[in-house]
Amino acid sequence: MADAKKLSSMDASFLYLETPEMPMHVGSMAIFRLPENYSGNFFEDFKAMIASRLHIAPILKARLEKAPLDIDHPSWVEDDQFDIDRHIFRGSLPAPYDRATLERIVGWMHAKLLNRARPLWEFYVFEGMKDNEIGLYSKMHHACIDGGAGAALTNMIYDVTPVPRVVEKPLPQAKGGNEPRDIAANLIDSYQQLWRQPFDGSSTPKTLDLPRSGKSDLGSILFDNAMFQIESAVKFAGSIPAMLKSVSDVVGKISDPNSRDSIASMVSPSTILNKAISSERSFAGTSISLSRAKAVAKASGGKLNDVVLALSSGVVRRYLLERGALPAKSMTAAVPISLREEGNTEANNQVFGMICSIATNIEDPKARLEAIIAQSTKSKEMSHPLRAFMPQVSNVSMLGAPILVQILALLYSRSDLSNVLPPSANITVSNVPGPRQTLYAAGAELLHIFPVSISTHGIALNITVQSYRDQLDFGFIAGANIIPHVQVMCDMLPVEFEALEAAFAPPPSMTRAAE
């Protein structure tokens, strides 16, 4: 990362919304198994392997550089004082050296803010676990990366064989000039390029690449922002036909009487899970069979995402029923949707979202999943037209906005407004596709990769799922003041899965006939 790269508005928003009670980093708790009779030093081997591959992911050596007075979004610049020993640490796991102990430590560590003076990631290696296992807790700021890019980063860093591959470093490239003469020449070229092409709505939305100074003084920031605004205006103008069609589609859906029930189902009831959170976290993970979950999805006529929503719904329903706190109205889930094109591994956020009813008011597991399938289909239909707006909204830039948004975020956090405002959603549920092949790191086999995501004020519980090999690894994280021991909820998931499987199992008569 030779040159400074300014954060997009979406990436930067994760920095602005961060408070001591609400860190905005994501991570994972990976479990490895060392080979039998292993005699090496896994921590040192792992650290050396990552150090040799840092060029694969330049974001790992980039730190934030703030704009003067926070007048504009910060930039990623290469950290000239980068020290890998400040990012990869040897963790200490007390007795009984098991996964449950590791989960409690991960929950505690995930509540701690990353140091913004350094690149925004950390790895902690926990050796000496039972059954020759190694724990790896990793966290990276959401401003760097989303789940889709995170899975790609996992594929880049880890190996598909026990023997680590040798990754050649690229040849150094000459830096481009940012002198006033070069900027002026590039500006003239860009201007000519703009008027060379017809400006009409029938063509692909027009793009324009104007030069940047790449410097961090106030004058350069004002110049670069002006260039950005011109680019945005051209891109916006080229996107007007698609955006007008989206507006028309949204208005049509809202005015359709058949859509009113769908809109009403997205209104979230208040629950004990939708309160302000503390600066403590509770974390737990569990796994189920991916092929069995897909079989349930096929039998129900839905998708794997629907099964994940149904399992999350069943767990939350059981938990709240035991506490006499289940609302009569169906609860909702905020479901992130990736906008990332296949093959795109850029380290940034390309994500959208929808609100979906999760039918917690339905007792029967089969009827609940069928209702979720119907509701998720309607939610996708309602949210799909808005996708055209996201490329415009995700990179809006307004001078002075960073400091204003940070003040408002801190005010919201300190005022406990989430205790009185209606929740936008009741829980967050996310499903991240992962690799099907076995992965290795420094010779150790990766057994599980449990996601460790973000809890927010008003939505204390986050359930994120990572597929790996033939398993779904569920990571439950919650504000510890709301759910002190999220392990209780996590333990309900295998039981809920068995109930869902039984609900869609073929009748005994059909099974005998097949035999």
pLDDT for residue 388 is more than 60: no
pLDDT for residue 265 is more than 90: no
Q: How far apart are CA 95 and CA 180, in angstroms?
A: 62
Q: What is the pLDDT of residues 292-309, one digit of tens each?
A: 999 999 999 999 999 999
H helices of 390-461, where?
Answer: 390-393, 401-415
Which listed residue (25, 73, 141, 142) is catalytic?
A: 142
Annotation says 25 is catalytic: no
Q: Which residues contact 444 (CB under 8 A, 6 or more apart)?
A: 32, 33, 34, 35, 38, 42, 134
Q: What is the pLDDT of residues 426-451, one digit of tens each?
A: 999 999 888 899 999 999 999 999 99
Q: What pLDDT score does 195 carry?
A: 42
Domain extent listing, the chain: 5-157, 182-258, 262-391+418-436+453-514
For helices 401-415 and 9-16, give the axis angle rounded to 10 degrees. 40
Most confident of 233-237, 243-247, 421-425, 468-472: 468-472
Q: How far apart are CA 124 and CA 139, in angstroms?
A: 9
Is the Cβ–Cβ distance between 269 and 427 less than 8 Å? no
Q: What is the DSSP string of 270-330?
A: P-TTSS---S-EEEEEEEEEHHHHHHHHHHHT--HHHHHHHHHHHHHHHHHHHTT---SSP
> pLDDT tier at 399 (50, 70, 90 boundaries)?
low
Q: Which residues contact 386 (CB under 8 A, 6 or more apart)?
A: 246, 250, 352
Q: How far apart are CA 202 and CA 303, in angstroms?
A: 35
Is the Cβ–Cβ distance between 423 and 274 less than 8 Å? yes
Of 363-367, 391-395, 407-411, 425-429, minimum mean pLDDT range = 391-395
pLDDT for residue 226 is more than 80: no
Which strand (E) or helix (H) includes residue 466? strand 461-468
pTM of the model: 0.81
Largest CA distance in the chain: 82
479 forms beta bridges with 281
Q: Which CATH architecture has domain 5-157?
A: 2-Layer Sandwich (3.30)
Is the Cβ–Cβ distance between 331 and 422 less than 8 Å? no
Question: How far is residue 218 CA from its own chain's centroid?
Answer: 33
Q: What is the pLDDT of residues 193-212, one digit of tens each?
A: 444 444 444 444 455 565 55
pLDDT for residue 472 is more than 90: yes
For helices 290-300 and 304-322, give the axis angle rounded to 10 degrees. 100
Q: What is the pLDDT of residues 113-162, one digit of tens each?
A: 999 999 999 999 999 999 999 999 999 999 887 544 565 566 667 899 99
Give the mean pLDDT of 8-22: 88
Q: What pLDDT score does 508 carry?
A: 66
Mean pLDDT of the chain: 81
Q: What pLDDT score does 377 carry?
A: 83
Q: What pLDDT score does 283 carry?
A: 98
> pLDDT tier at 248 (50, 70, 90 boundaries)?
low
Q: Which residues contact 186 (CB under 8 A, 6 or more apart)?
A: 210, 211
CATH number for the domain formed by residue range(s) 262-391+418-436+453-514: 3.30.559.30
